[in-house]
């Protein structure tokens, strides 16, 4: 018997704000056992010109977030974190957040998006692979608990795809 598909949350995507910090910290605490962003870091990323923090808000609360970092002069953006509250998972919200930060990276002139993901997180790996990311490297014992990181990259547009086929990594 097929399980009924849960409908998409009525979530609005927007830029993160200072008022979101307490909710973002709670989200990180539930999502990550280690390597959590501090209050100070969130405060910085909300207003820093070299980062984009997108928040998904549903029913007046933070349902998820995605943070991308940029380096001046680089054609590569780095997805630093993407997190979705447990009650909103498996409804397409992470994919919506990912598309939103990719759009922002293209707007900023980036040709590629890079990220690291825990090797023991098959759900996240599937999200990235089905969103056009390709594996290019492994970092041994990168995360707490000596978990490897898998590095992925996605070309953001036709020019980037041409460059990627002529110049892999």
Which pair of structure tokens corresponds to residue 128? 């990235």
State pTM to two decimals. Answer: 0.86
Q: Strand 51-58 relative to strand 11-15: parallel, antiparallel, unpaired?
A: antiparallel
Report domain extents, the chain: 11-166
Q: Give the helix ranges, DSSP H, for the chain.
A: 21-31, 39-47, 93-107, 122-130, 158-166
Which pair of structure tokens corresponds to residue 163? 């460059």
Per-residue pLDDT of the chain (169 residues; tens, 9 = 90+): 555 555 544 789 999 999 999 999 988 877 655 567 888 999 999 989 999 999 999 988 899 999 999 999 999 999 999 999 988 888 899 999 999 999 999 999 999 999 999 999 999 999 999 999 999 999 999 988 899 999 999 999 766 666 665 555 5
In this structure, CATH architecture of domain 11-166: 3-Layer(aba) Sandwich (3.40)
Element (H, E) at 147: strand 147-155
């Amino acid at each position: 018997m097929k399980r009924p598909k849960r409908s998409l949350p009525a979530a609005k995507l927007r830029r993160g704000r200072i008022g979101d910090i307490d909710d973002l910290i709670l989200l990180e605490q539930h999502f990550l056992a280690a390597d959590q962003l501090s209050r100070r870091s969130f405060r910085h990323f909300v207003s820093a010109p070299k980062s984009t923090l997108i928040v998904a808000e549903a029913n007046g609360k933070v349902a998820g977030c995605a943070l991308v970092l940029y380096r001046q002069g680089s054609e590569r953006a780095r997805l630093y974190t993407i997190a979705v509250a447990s009650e909103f998972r498996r409804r397409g919200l992470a994919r919506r957040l990912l598309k939103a930060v990719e759009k922002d990276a293209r707007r900023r002139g980036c040709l590629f998006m890079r990220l690291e993901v825990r090797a023991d997180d098959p759900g996240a790996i599937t999200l990235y692979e089905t969103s056009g990311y390709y594996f290019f490297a492994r970092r041994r014992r990168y995360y707490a608990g000596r978990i490897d990181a898998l590095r992925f990259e996605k070309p953001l547009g036709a020019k980037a795809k041409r460059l990627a086929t002529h110049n892999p990594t």
